[in-house]
Structure 1
């Protein structure tokens, strides 16, 4: 009788995890905007108008 070789399907989830990790690295290193200021680094200068005719 002839032998029939049966191969099991290889799981696809490791490829999905690898693609998600690569996409996360690409976003973190290349697409992130380093110029944006966060709320904690914004400085506000209060300027009051000076009335030169007040003397």
Structure 2
């Protein structure tokens, strides 16, 4: 809890750090949580389920 509180304070104080963390979060979401990524995971799941035992 103390470490988390310290990081929150650091982000509240630093506009540049806040923007950097926000941009990194957005890139992550756009990369890993989109329709192409979801379809690829679903396809892999179906292929594994349909594979001979």
| Higher share of residues assigned helix | 2
Choose between structure 1 and 2 for higher RCO, CA contacts under 8 A separated by at least 6 residues: 2
TM-score higher than 0.5 here?
A: no
TM range (shorter): 0.3 to 0.5
Q: TM-score of the superposition, structure 2-length normalised?
A: 0.39
Q: TM-score of the superposition, structure 1-length normalised?
A: 0.38
